[in-house]
Amino acid sequence: MQYQSQMVAKPYFIAAIGLFILQILFGLIMGLQYVMGDFLFPEIPFNVARMVHTNALIIWLLMGFMGAAYYLVPEESETELFSPRLALITFWVFLGAAGLTVLGYLLVPYSTLAEITGNSILPTMGREFLEQPTITKIGIVIVALAFLFNIGMTVLKGRKTAITLVLLIGLLGLAVLFLFSFYNPDNLVLDKYFWWWVVHLWVEGGWELILGSILAFVLIKVTGVDREVIEKWLYIIIAMALISGIIGTGHHYFWIGVPEYWQWWGSIFSALEPLPFLMMTLFAFNMVKNRRRNHPNKAAVMWALGTTVLAFFGAGVWGFMHTLAPVNYYTHGSQLTAAHGHLAFFGAYAMIVLTIISYAMPLLRGRKAANSALSQKLEIWSFLLMSSSMVLITLLLTTAGVKQIMLQRMGEHPLPFMQVQEQLAIYFWLREGSGMLFLIGLIIYVASFFVGNSEPEAEVAA
Amino acid sequence: MNEVFTKSMARNIFYGGGVFFILLFLALTFDTVQQLPKLDNRAALTEQVAHGKALWEENNCIGCHTLLGEGAYFAPELGNVYQRYGNSTAFIKAFLMTRPKEGVPGRRSMPQFNFTAEEREAIAEFLKYSSQINTAGWPPTIQG
Amino acid sequence: MATLAQQDHPKYPPGDLAIWIFILAELAVFAIFFASYAFTRMNHVELFNQFQQQLDRDAALINTLALITGSYFVVRAVAAIREGASQICLRWLLAALGMGCLFLVVKSAEYSHHFSAGINLSTNSFYMFYLSLTFFHFMHVIMGMVILAAVALKARRGGYSIEDHTGVETGAAYWHMVDLVWLILFPLVYVMH
């Protein structure tokens, strides 16, 4: 760590991990409700558990992105952060808003929450992933503006690098696209059409730029490869992401009441969407192979490589599996979609945040370069356990999805939804078991922060 | 073989490609919005349907169900529930009314939302309107 | 010596490698698009033949000639700058831009004819593909012209020389790609039946 103001990243990272734990706990509740329908009913119905699960995910990833920005922008710009105090204020506002929102979800029925937050004045609630009360959404916008101002001013007064520019464009896109969450027409088709401008253009647009720039930063640090090389590949990869991903939005427009040409446009462009992820994987492995030095933080290198591999499989391969319209006709909105969602989000976004935390946290906690060997050993175990259990969850949901499609959407006598769900129980039980494994991985991960702190730093083997 | 691969060219491609595809996306969006009146069943979009949509949202129905395939995968697709139960709103209203407060032991159950008769009517009408959107033949079967 | 060696073995590929990655990606998109067209046409031969007749083949032929001529001008521009003749290079680039303009004018006239007849992307699958492919290509022509214009501006300032003219080659490579795509599109969509 070279600049004092980078320290503001620390609370963001800690909060991110806290919300990550919350997300997983509610995931396990939902997993159980899939097979024990009355579990915690009517206290925590499935839709409430799911809101906490998905919203906690979104908030912890945003926390992670912000922490990453606060950590890497001063170092890249070679100057102190414009205002560390503002960064801390926005942190507490953000955490407070997130906490109150989750409490609102859990303590009162959702319709009551809608009523007390005045949803009828500007109705934005009750749409998937955008369930937050309107007032929370306004809070998010204010936090985002303050954050962008702070980061933008820092970039402006310091050195401008490709990494900070790309990060800034990604963050700006994230903030601008979020504004579409305030557009909620009565017309369901229009509602859905522009809802995707937030959801798809986030994960396959703005967020990919953020992912790319964080990855590039970490790779420069841990491999010592020339910045020029890493930055030009960063540009090429995110250019590919935008080329395929923007029109690729069309793969969500097959069956929601918009013109049918989207089936062609969406299929053709999203067929190319695995490409940037493949390039990112090859890029990361090449950079590590051609490294100029061995970095003592092996765990961070592992996360960086892992995120590209699982993002390629989760977003690229599992996405491609059902992105062509004739296939999607059968798979749309099935357990297969859930399989893709889990591996893509974990691989691309959860793991990139864990990568930057893994790289930065030892430095923020006063280490010179890396944690002790013992602590890293635990972290690597948690990496293996979480990754493999997430792959397992994906495979199980894929199997469940294929079976669901065959029973419910094909053949002479398609079965009703609930009857099919009962036949999938075994996969859902195994999924819950894999979820428990994931939780163990997460516990080991958290433990790695508390173990081996008194031991000396890991050193590079000669 | 000697080649040139510069960062500034890579950057230009990122900016150029990005702007290019944003413009293309906006052009397609413009056409889509022009075409929508023919597809989105807006003639059926009454005050009551709008009220139904508001109720749908304020009770977070999407947190369990899918609608036109989007949402959660815990409970049945509702984009064609109107057709599934005999092209009628009667079943939908009756189902909403009869949900047991404490759920069903061991099974998934929809919560009892205590809607008024007028609200049940509005939700049913919203689902009827949704079912008549032109979805290019999706879902493949009546089971959604 | 280094310069001499470079003269003997011109670098390959010409232009910046980054543009070649971009060109490959673009060609991949067009290839999938063309394959989709061919596949759909196979299943609706009658429909495709019927509506293909309604296209203005003369206009398309003029456009083909415009693009080929434009490509030739670009070749001359590259040749000029390899001799170090900035001003001549600039003139050829402007001529190529003129050909691009001609293409845009003719194609726009075609579009306005279609639109006034009430034809759009949702008319039928033939027009869906015809309009999608040609409009996607149309935007590429504009993109190519923007690139050539940027190159021309730099050439006017004397920004290229015998030793360093990668930029001209880069722009030329992109323009040839736009031309090449049209040379497949024209017979596929307008002629073949």
| Domain-wise residue ranges, chain C | 16-32+57-191
Q: What is the mean pLDDT of residues A270-285?
A: 96
For residue range C136-160, list pLDDT tens digits in order: 999 999 999 999 999 999 999 999 9
Conformational region of residue A126, where left means phi above 0, alpha means psi within -120 to 50, and beta covers everything else: left
Distance of residue C85 Cα from the nearest chain A Cα, in angstroms:
31
Secondary structure of residue C119 in the 3-state scheme: coil
Residue C8 has pLDDT above 80, yes or no: no
Note whether A202 and A339 are within 8 A (CB): no
C29 to A268: CB separation less than 8 angstroms, yes or no: yes
Residue of B nearest to C170 (CA): B9
For residue range A212-251, list pLDDT tens digits in order: 999 999 999 999 999 999 999 999 999 999 999 999 999 9
Which among A407, A121, A370, A246 is positioned nearest to B141, based on CA atoms?
A407
Write the DSSP string, C47-112.
Answer: HHHHHHTTS-HHHHHHHHHHHHHHHHHHHHHHHHHHTT-HHHHHHHHHHHHHHHHHHHHHHHHHHH
User: For A383-394, b where at least 16 C-beta lie within 10 A, e where not — what string?
Assistant: bebbbebbbbbb
Look up the pTM and report it.
0.95
User: Chain B interface, mutation test: which of C26, C122, C132, most B Cβ atoms within 10 Å?
Assistant: C122
* B102–chain C Cβ distance below 8 A for any pair: no
Distance of residue B41 Cα from the nearest chain A Cα, in angstroms:
9
What is the pLDDT, as a whole number, of residue C20? 95
Number of A:B CB contacts under 8 A?
232
What is the pLDDT, as a whole number, of residue A433? 98
Q: Could you name the CATH architecture of A214-448?
A: Up-down Bundle (1.20)
* A268–chain C Cβ distance below 8 A for any pair: yes
What is the pLDDT, as a whole number, of residue C12? 80
For residue range A343-368, list pLDDT tens digits in order: 999 999 999 999 999 999 999 999 99
Number of B:C CB contacts under 8 A?
47
Domain positions in chain A: 1-160, 214-448
Q: CA distances (Å), C48 to each of C34, C183, C191, in order? A: 14, 19, 11
Domain positions in chain B: 1-38, 41-144
B32 to A162: CB separation less than 8 angstroms, yes or no: no
Q: What is the mean pLDDT of residues C123-127?
A: 95
Q: Could you name the CATH architecture of B41-144?
A: Orthogonal Bundle (1.10)
* B97–chain A Cβ distance below 8 A for any pair: no
C16 to B5: CB separation less than 8 angstroms, yes or no: yes
For residue range A17-59, list pLDDT tens digits in order: 999 999 999 999 999 999 999 999 999 999 999 999 999 999 9
* B112 backbone dihedrals φ, ψ, rounded to 5°: -85, 115
Residue of A nearest to B143 (CA): A416
Helix H or strand E encompassing B71: strand B70-71
State which amino acid sits at residue A83.
S
What is the pLDDT, as a whole number, of residue B5? 92
C128 to A264: CB separation less than 8 angstroms, yes or no: yes
* A272–chain C Cβ distance below 8 A for any pair: yes
What is the pLDDT, as a whole number, of residue A1? 81
Chain A residues in contact with C21 by the CB 8 A cut-off are: 236
Residue B142 has pLDDT above 60, yes or no: yes
Which among C120, A20, A38 is positioned nearest to B108, based on CA atoms?
A38
CATH code for the part of the protein at C16-32+57-191 = 1.20.120.80
Q: What is the mean pLDDT of residues A285-314?
A: 97
Residue window 53-82, chain B: list those with CB within 8 Å of chain C: none
Residue of A nearest to C30 (CA): A268
C120 to B16: CB separation less than 8 angstroms, yes or no: no
B36 to A228: CB separation less than 8 angstroms, yes or no: no
For residue range B100-139, list pLDDT tens digits in order: 999 999 999 999 999 999 999 999 999 999 999 999 999 9
Chain C residues in contact with B34 by the CB 8 A cut-off are: 120
Which DSSP symbol is given to C117? T
Residue A10 has pLDDT above 90, yes or no: yes
Q: What is the mean pLDDT of residues A273-281?
A: 97
* C29–chain A Cβ distance below 8 A for any pair: yes
Residue A452 has pLDDT above 70, yes or no: yes
